[in-house]
Every structure is written in structure tokens, then in C-alpha cells.
Amino acid sequence: MPRTLHIPIRIVLSLGVTLALMLHASGFQPLALVDQLESFAYDARLRLTLPGGVDPRIVIVDIDEDSLLQEGQWPWPRARLAELTNILFTDYRVRLLAFDIVFPETERNPALGILQTLAQGPLRADPAFQREWAVLRMQWSGDERFAGSLQKRPTVLGYSFALPGQQGQDLQVGQLPPAAAPLTVLAGAPNPFAVAAGYSANLLLLQASAHGGGFFNSPLVDQDGLIRRLPLLLSHGDRLYENLSLAVLRTLMDGPPLEMIAGAGYRDAAGQRVEAVRVGVFVMPVDAEGAVLIPYRGPQGGFPYLSARAILNRQADSRVLNGAIVLVGTTAAGLLDLRATPVQSIYPGVEIHANLIAGMLDQRLKYRPPFTSGLETLLLLMLGGLSIALGFASPLKALLGTLLLAVATVAFNLCAWQVLNWVLPLASMLLLLLLLYVLHNSYGYLIQARRERHLTRLFGQYVPRELVAEMSRQPGGYALGGESREMTVLFSDIQDFTTLSETLDPHQLTRLMQFILTPLTQVIHEQRGTVDKYIGDAIMAFWGAPLPDSAHARHAVQAALAMQARLEELTPELRAHGWPSLHIRIGVNSGAMSVGNMGSEFRMAYTVLGDA
């Protein structure tokens, strides 16, 4: 194939790869593989830049295995939870208490059931009984005691939502907390928050006693099962309900209203899209589904853990709890609150909320800026063009150039990640560089191999292998068509060969010719000569074609001298075979000659003609 056809094919293939990734970046043709690789790239950056350490502002009171051994299986009596709450606020003076637990059912107490039946029935008009009943109800009712411990304190209860199509979508148990805001707060912008269907909430008595509530589950788990983000809000009916982490933040701030920030960068056919939620001085950027990326500190242990058993026994360190935000959760495997995350495959769900609360307080939430798609498309176009240009460089330069582009891309991406908290696409650009590098090198290798096979067929018997490889690297340095060049030609024959041939039988003559011509031809090849033909005992060779040779005369003379020396070295072996000593005559001449493929329609040969 002519070289002029190779360039367009290579460019077309490269542009096709670049266009496919640009369509993915713009959202016209999403590619699942690229999305998966992007998740891997996000996880790698997250793990690479984990801040680590322990944040003392948030303490996790853990219903762990030791606590279950002491207090018995879950659920615990509500009176015991009331005691836990009172101890935390009274003895340890915590700042806020949130439960990553839902209490949807009334605690059962058969004795209270009998007394309640009497109080509402036969003894309804008995003042003395009613007074005793009121006292006994507070003493014996775990729900009443737990509710009393929550009242007039900064407490937050958790609950769960289910989206349409998910398990529990038809379930509506308990009492939802007051909504964070009505849908009208969106001010005409499209609602980015997922619409919840069913819910499992807390008892009315408990929820009414707490300061607030927030859903703790994440219906937006990624396809690989990892939790990288949490919905900040969910809509139910005509209201918006807040995540447990946001409920904790608003409770700390005494419940400021939500404000939606819609950015022009997200403008589409439906109007501006909500890009962030502001609560007082805190701004939480959200994605197209109203979710925030979780700013993990590291593997489990980024916050102080205290066993609930130690709290109930008043054995905890008061310095750890004093003024802290406390989240009550569990790491016990049997209570099923362990999640898969990018930083650890088994991770307590309660610590996920602790990470998000800390991230909101520090304002270090990562987010994808509104111009992400346009920037990714532009970078893909730029990298694609540079990679196409590198594809025509030498293999070493192409490799170094591709590595340089990859390093620059990663450095720019990490700088935006660390300094600006931007999550910019990375996998698509690295994939483009890799694909184009492999494409160009594979294409070049195939073309090179085909060219070498073609040259080997044409010249393999006439020129040394090294010269064939050099011709392949310099396709413009030779021509098969006839042309005039200044060259040197060499003729050699064996002295008195006719007489000698008459004394040998055909088999011995063939062996003798092969024995002599092979080393002499090797000498010619060593001096970059091209063997034109063998004429009986004679050798015709030339220098200066197919590749130009500015020292063609010197190489030809050196070959002639080396041929005579090599023949003298063969004399002992000739005698060993019973052959006589041989002498060769060599003629060398330089001048203008015509060189190229010459012959007839039946047979062609690469040779030289001319008076010289």
C-alpha cells in the first residue's frame, strides 16, 4: 500500500476513538466501561489524598459486640436508651446526640397493657388510680422515658426512605419529622432530588420529643455496590426531607432555613439546575441527583469510638465526650449496618455520616463543577490532536511524549482535586492516550512488518538483512523504478575454473560452488554490497543501490580485498575435501549506471546497466 494512504487511515482511526470518548463526555453516548474506569480513578484519587488522623469533634458511641453481651440482644429496652441519653448529656455534657437508628414500634410491656386497659375502661373515673397510672406509665413505659430524655435537648433521630421500585416502597410506618423545606424553595428550578415513596420512621411520641430527624440510608448506591455519595435531600409529597448529616448540622445551628443555589452553568432545556444547598454560612454542592460526595478521612477509625457499654457503666473518658457531637450507631455484624466504600470493603454506616458532617463543617466537599462536560470534551480534543501528532514520531519519542501528556493530565487533575475540590474526569483522558498510543504503535508495527516482508521478498537474497531493515526504516531512500546513479560494480571469477569443472562430477561441482560462493557472498554483504547475480563461477555485485552509499567505491575495494583473503583462509579446507587451491580474479569499476527492476513481462530482476 502506498505510504500516502497510511496517514489518512491512521488519522481516521484516531479521530474515531477521540470522537467516541468526546460523545461520552458530552453525554450523547455514555460508555459503561468508561464510567466504571472513572469510578476506579475517583477511588484511586480519594485513597491517595486521604487526610487520615482522628477528628475529635465527632464521637461514635458504638453498640458493639461487648455492649450486646452486657445488655442483651437488640433492641434494648427503651428505658436503657433513655439512661444512655441522660448519661451523655448530664454526666459527659455532649453537645449534640444523633441516633443512626430507627424506633418504629411501640415497646411491648404486658403489665402496662393491662393497666392502660383499666385506665381507659373501668377505672377511668377513679382519680386515685389515674394519678397512680400517670406515675407508673412514666416509670414503666420505656417509650415515655426515652421520649422524656430526648425533650429540650439537641437530639436527632434517624429513619429510612425507600425509592419507587425498591424494597419497602409501599411501607409507611411511624411519623416523619418536620420537613426541611417545601418544594417551593426550589424557586422554579427542576427538582434534582430523588422522590421517596415509602418510609420507616420513628414513633410519633419519640419524633415529637426530638429536636429533629434525618434519613440515614442511601438509595443512591453506585453500580459496583460502593457508597461514594449520599443524597442531601429527598422529596416526599410536596416537601423536602434532609439527610441525617444535614439534620445534625442544622440542629447545631438551631435550624436555619435551606437556600437553593441554581447555577447558570447547569442551564438546560428545563432551566437552571440546583448546584448547591446553603445552610447559613455552609454551602454543600450537589450533583444532578441532589447527592454530595462523601469526604472520607480514611479507613474505619477516623473518629473516636466508645463502646455503649462503657457509657452505661460511666467508664468513658469525659475529655473525649465533653462538647462533642455524638452519633449512636453499631459495628456489630448482626445488626447489618456495615457498608462497602472506596476506602474499606466493610465500613460502619454510622462513620459514613460522621465523615459527611465533618466535611460539611470544614467545607471540604468535593464536587463536579458545572463546566465539567465542556472541559472534558476540550481536553479530549486537545490530547487527541497531540497524540495523533506523536503517532508519526519515532517509537521512543512517541512513548516519552505520551508519558509526558499522561503525567501533565494527572498533575492538572490532582491540582484541581486538592486545591479547588473539583472532581474532574480522568479515566477518559488516560484511556484516550493509551488507546491512541497502542493504535499508532500497532499500526506502525503492522505496516513496518509488511514492508519488511515485501523488501525481504525483493532483496532478501541479494542484500544483507541489516540493509533490508534500514530500507524499511527509510522507505523514501530507495526506488524500484529505473534511475541513474553514481555507483561501483564488482565482477569476480575463479581462475581456470573451466578446466577444473571438467575434472569433477556434477555433485562435487555443486558442493564446491556452494562452498566457495557462500563465504564470498557473506563478505560482500558485510561491506553493504548487493549481489546482482551468479554467472557460473562469477559473482556480479554493486554498491550504491538500493540505498545510496557515498563510500560505494571504498566498500567495493574493501570487499575485493576481503574476498581474496577469505579464499586463502579456505585453502586448508579445500585440500581436506580433495579439491585444488583456487584463485579468484576481481574487477571493480565506478561510474554512472542505470539501476532498478529490469526485464520483461515474464521475469524482472533488480540490476544495473550502462557502460560503466
Four-residue CA torsion sign, 354, 233, 199, 184: positive
**Could you give phi then psi for residue 552, rounded to 5 degrees?**
-65, -40
Of the candidates 531, 526, 452, the residue with the CA atom closest to the CA atom of residue 491: 531
Residue 119 contacts residue 271 (beta carbons within 8 Å): no
pTM of the model: 0.72
Percent of the chain clearing pLDDT 70 (strictly above):
86
Residue 463 contacts residue 530 (beta carbons within 8 Å): yes
Between 219 and 271, where is the model more confident?
Answer: 219
Is the pLDDT reported for residue 2 higher than 60?
A: no
Specify the amino acid at residue 18.
T
**Least confident stretch, 5-9, 108-112, 169-173, 390-394:** 5-9
Specify the amino acid at residue 371.
F
pLDDT tens for each residue of 450-505: 655 555 555 555 555 554 555 555 554 445 556 888 999 999 999 888 888 888 88
Between 136 and 576, where is the model more confident?
Answer: 576
Residue 132: band (very low, low, confident or very high) from pLDDT cuts 50, 70, 90 = low
**d(Cα 565, Cα 220) in Å, to the nearest integer?**
85
**Could you give phi then psi for residue 173, rounded to 5 degrees?**
-115, 135
CB-CB neighbours of 589 under 10 Å: 15
pLDDT tens for each residue of 395-445: 888 899 999 999 999 999 999 999 999 999 999 999 999 999 988 877 766
| Pairing outcome for strands 96-99 and 155-162 | parallel
Residue 210: band (very low, low, confident or very high) from pLDDT cuts 50, 70, 90 = very high
